[in-house]
C-alpha cells in the first residue's frame, strides 16, 4: 500500500475509534495479530485496544482526538495528536474532576497488508495530571 493509503487507515482509526467510540473499527483496521505498546494497562490484541478506547471515552466526556501532524515512511505512520475532553469519569484511579483536558501524544503505527499490526504510543500523562490538579505544575509560573 502507498504511504497515503497507510495514512488514511490511521486517520480513519482515530476518527472512528477514539473520537467516535466505534469499537467495530478495530475489527476492520487492526490485524488479528495486533500488538499494542502504550503506558495504559490493557489486555493484549484488539480486545486491549477496545478496552483503552472504552475506558478513555468513559472518563472523558466529548472525547475528540485531533491529528496535528502525520508522517509516513514505507509501512510506518507516525501521528502527533491532541485529545480534548472533559474529565467526567474515573481515569487511572482518579475520580472525575469536571475539568477540561487537552492531552498530547505521539503514536507510531506499523501497517501490513492494509491492517494496523503494531502500535507504539506515548502520551503526556504528566501534563494531564497537572491539568486535573493531581500533580503540581512545573516550570516558571508567572
pLDDT reading at 135 higher than 80: yes
- The whole-number pLDDT of residue 63 equals 97
* Mean per-residue pLDDT, 98-103: 97
pLDDT digits (tens, 9 = 90+) for 41-88: 889 999 999 999 999 999 999 999 999 999 999 999 999 999 999 999
* Mean per-residue pLDDT, 100-113: 98
Please count the other Cβ atoms lying within 10 Å of the Cβ belonging to residue 19: 20
Helices (H), the chain: 3-16, 24-29, 45-59, 125-131
Is 3.10.450.50 the CATH number for 3-131?
A: yes
* Mean per-residue pLDDT, 117-140: 90
Contacts of 142 (CB under 8 A, 6+ apart): none
CA 117 to CA 123: how far, in whole Å?
20
Residue from 120, 119, 116 nearest 28 by CA: 116
- The whole-number pLDDT of residue 141 equals 53
Amino acid at each position: 500500500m502507498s504511504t497515503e493509503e497507510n495514512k488514511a487507515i490511521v486517520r480513519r482509526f482515530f476518527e472512528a475509534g477514539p473520537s467516535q467510540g466505534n469499537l467495530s473499527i478495530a475489527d476492520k483496521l487492526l490485524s488479528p495479530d495486533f500488538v499494542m505498546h502504550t503506558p495504559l494497562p490493557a489486555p493484549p490484541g484488539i480486545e486491549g485496544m477496545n478496552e483503552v478506547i472504552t475506558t478513555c471515552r468513559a472518563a472523558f466526556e466529548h472525547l475528540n482526538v485531533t491529528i496535528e501532524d502525520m508522517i509516513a515512511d514505507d509501512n510506518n505512520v507516525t501521528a502527533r495528536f491532541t485529545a480534548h475532553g472533559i474529565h467526567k469519569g474515573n481515569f487511572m484511579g482518579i475520580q472525575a474532576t469536571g475539568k477540561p483536558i487537552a492531552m498530547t501524544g505521539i503514536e507510531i503505527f506499523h501497517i501490513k497488508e492494509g491492517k494496523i499490526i503494531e502500535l507504539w504510543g506515548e502520551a503526556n500523562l504528566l501534563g494531564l495530571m497537572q491539568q486535573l490538579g493531581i500533580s503540581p505544575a512545573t516550570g516558571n509560573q508567572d
